Amino acid sequence: MLMLKMSGRCAKKNAGAAYMILQMTRPVQGGLRQERKLEATSNHLSNSETAGFKKDVVSFDRMFKAQLNTDFSQGHMRRTDNKLDLALGDEGFFKVNTPDGIRYTRDGNFTLSSEGILINQEGFPVQGDNGDITINGENIQINKAGNITVDGVAVDVLDIVTFEDVQKLDKQGADLFVYKGDPDEDEQEPARISVKQGALEGSNVQVVDEMVTMIDHHRMYETFQKMMLTFDEVDGKAITEVGRPQ
């Protein structure tokens, strides 16, 4: 009879412990989610002035694994009057040739190398229909369709492409993207190309909105932290009571 009573007590304690563990996982998972959202929001704010930057949308699957999708909505246009600054008014990406292969970007903050090759700020050559674009001359004109003329002579055409599923583009740094599929098969010409010379596309980050979002995420994170501390205190009391005479 005594053994049955002890078994019953142990079963209740085990059930209580299991319930406590289950309850503790919820604030832990919630805290981790808020932490990931805080990281994304912090990254948005730090790149709010980066030309062509696209913010992330954080979501979570059933296993609470974070998934990042890119928000490709257009950023604001900023006039610079620099003839080598280019902005894309509609869909599409510029192509740059890196040591690791072709990368894609909306950042048209370009310049010329010492050899007269059109490059981005990292020194990677911008691609045209004929590969690297060489510009030797003073009067540089780039029209809406991406046709490049120098001193009245046609030089090249900007190679501007898009993809049916732009979510297959993974971020590489602040302004470059790498395509996860086969670019030779999946590159498409945009339905409409609109190049704006002497302008840059800013990031699509709304600073005020992001700051409000960060405050909200931080408050939620603190709430989950307090919940974890409460459960930890309750769990500690439960442990000290184990083995006490009933």
Contact 86, 197 (CB under 8 A): yes
Q: What is the mean pLDDT of residues 113-131?
A: 97
pLDDT digits (tens, 9 = 90+) for 85-107: 999 998 999 999 999 999 999 99
- Summarised one tens digit per residue, pLDDT across range 67-77 is 889 999 999 99
Tallying the residues shown for the chain, one arrives at 246
Query: Are the C-beta atoms of 214 and 206 separated by less than 8 Å?
Result: no
Chain segment 232-241, per-residue pLDDT in tens: 555 555 555 5
Q: What is the reported pLDDT for 179?
A: 98
Q: Report pLDDT digits (tens) over 154-163.
A: 999 999 999 9
pLDDT tens per residue across span 2-59: 444 444 454 444 444 555 555 556 655 655 677 788 888 989 999 999 999 999 988 7
Q: Is the CB of residue 97 less than 8 Å from the CB of residue 125?
A: yes
CA dihedral 147, 151, 152, 154 (to 10 degrees): -40
Q: What Cα–Cα distance (Å) separates residue 25 from each residue in 33, 66, 116, 220, 238?
A: 12, 16, 59, 16, 17
pLDDT grade for 61, boundaries at 50, 70 and 90: low
Q: What share of the chain has pLDDT > 70, as a percent?
A: 74
Domain spans in the chain, listed from the N-terminal domain onward: 2-48+206-241, 79-201
Average pLDDT of the chain is 84
The residue ranking higher by pLDDT, 241 or 219, is 219
Cα separation of 135 and 141, whole Å?
A: 11
| Residue of 224, 219, 220, 223 lying closest to 26 (CA atoms) | 224
